[in-house]
Structures are given as structure tokens and as C-alpha cells.
Amino acid sequence: MSLRFSGGPYANYTFTQSTGTRLEIMQGLQYALTLAGWTTISSSTSIIIMQTQTTPESLAMRIKIYDPGSGSTRVDIMNVSQALTSGDCWLTPAANKIWRVVACPYQFFIYTQMSMYNACEFVAAGTPALPPWLVGYTTQCGWIKGNSNGDGGGWTGSFRTELSGFNADYYSHWSGFWNHQYIDRNPANEYYRTGDMTLVTTGIGYTGTSTNGASGNQGRRWVDNTLNLSDPLIGWGASAIADEARIMGQLWDCAIASDAFAADLTVTIGTHNGITMTSSNTGSTASPAGTLIVCYS
């Protein structure tokens, strides 16, 4: 495959909460996704349901943004029929909190730029791009990833800090559906397993501890020191956390650079402008070094 660009419309939208309500987050995310071409299916002050555009491979999905009455704003993914619904991801409101939304017609990222390690301040979701051989074989697919193990719970890893869910120091929170198989990753009950949601990098070499005089960073640059850009393939265990994490598709309007950068830098890929989503990810033996770049034009 190669990098897949949606062609827009895009959203690169920042909003500041004034009163710190759950509704402010709901309406801010709804506004940004509308800019990116999503359709509002239904909307109230307690529940908003929106749908992506349909991808060239005929995939679409829905999200539910809702107010549970206390705690955080919650975000779920659903298939179009709403027969499959994920577990919650959480976004905690507060007065003067600044949120950024980067979205295209098929996916979004919402997060704060205050800290990479504040729980309930990151959610990303989408329906992926498919290679030709999966068109028709995959009939519906969606993913969502947060950075908390509960409403008001502890921080977990996300694409703000890593590319993989394999890090043995903590676990990740996510859900995914593929065709009629569905999995909800409950980080409160399950430690890291082989089927954790991961960005499957291609062409990025091993990154680990230097041993016997050999660098731990191998095969990540071209001979002229140009960094490699990799397709941002996404995979997870389709029906159980112990399953093999198989590649489901590819993120839209994204790439993976084969080195660590600070988060929220402005970058250019060809004619496309974007930001560095991952912060200073130097990698480990469990999770490769690299930076997810998300484009907004």
C-alpha cells in the first residue's frame, strides 16, 4: 500500500471550555466533525450520533457522543446499523481546558495539548482505508482508542505516547469491530496481550538497548540520512485479546516517521500539512520508535 489521503474536507479545530461542562465537549467535537464532512444522525443536549462519509471501499461507521449525567463526556463507536457498540472512552471537562480536533471524513483525533499523561484527555477513532484485496472481504470496520482505564481512572498509553499497545509497563484502552466480530479492550481487567491495538510499522528497524557496541536503532534511515515514512497500518485481535493482532487496514491522512519528535509540531508531507501526534517516542523492545503524523490538509 501507500499513504492514503482522503482529499478532505478537513478539520483542524481548537476550542476552549468556558464553563467546563460535558455539553461543551459534545458540541465542540460535533462542530469539528461537521467541518470534516461527517453527518449528524441525531442530536440533543444528552446524546449526539454522527456518521462518517463512506470510504472509496464502501466502509462507514458511527460514533455516539453523550453525557452520562456525571463525570466525563463519553464517546463510543458503532457500526452503521448500531447493532455493534463499543465500550466508552472518556473526555473529562474543565473550565479553560483547551481541546484540539484533527479530523477527516473518515476518522478523528481529539486531545488536549497540556500533557501526554493526563487520563481522559485523548480519543481517536475511525474506519480504515483498505488495500484492494480486502475490498468486499471486509464489509464493516471501525476502531477507537482512548487513554484511560475508566471515567476518572488511571492513565493508559495511546498514540500520543506510543505506536503499539505492547509496552509491558502499562496497558491500553480500545475497541474495534471487523465484519461481525467485535472486541472491547477492558484495561481494568486485562494486562497487555498479543492482540492489543497497534500501528504496524513497515520498514522501521529494531529499536532497543545498545548491546556489545551495536546501536539499538537499526534500519530506520536511508543512506543519505533521510528518515523513512511508513504506511500507518492498524491491527488488533479481532475477537479476543489473546488473538494475533492482524492488520485491518490503514489510517487516513497519516504517516509514521521513523524517529522520535516532540508532539504538536507542524510538518509537511508533500503538499499536505500535518502535526506530530506522538511525543518523543524513542521506542523499546516492545514498541518501536517513531512518530505518528496526522495531516489536516
Q: What is the pLDDT of residues 229-276, one digit of tens each?
A: 889 999 988 777 677 888 999 999 999 998 889 999 999 999 999 999
Listed by start position, the domains of the chain span: 11-295
Query: Residue 158's closest CA among 14, 281, 16, 282?
Result: 281
Q: Indicate if the pLDDT at residue 170 is higher than 90.
A: no
What strand order describes the sheet that includes 181-185?
11-16, 98-104, 107-112, 122-126, 141-146, 173-178, 181-185
pTM of the complete model? 0.91
Q: Which residue in 257, 254, 275, 256 sits closest to 266, CA to CA?
A: 275
Q: How far apart are CA 38 and CA 156, in angstroms?
A: 28
β-bridge mates for residue 221, sequence order: 227
Locus of grid cell 524517529: 259
- Number of residues written out for the chain: 297
Query: Would you state the pLDDT for residue 245?
Result: 80
| % of the chain surpassing 70 pLDDT | 85
Condensed to tens digits (0 to 9), the pLDDT of residues 214-224 reads 445 566 778 88
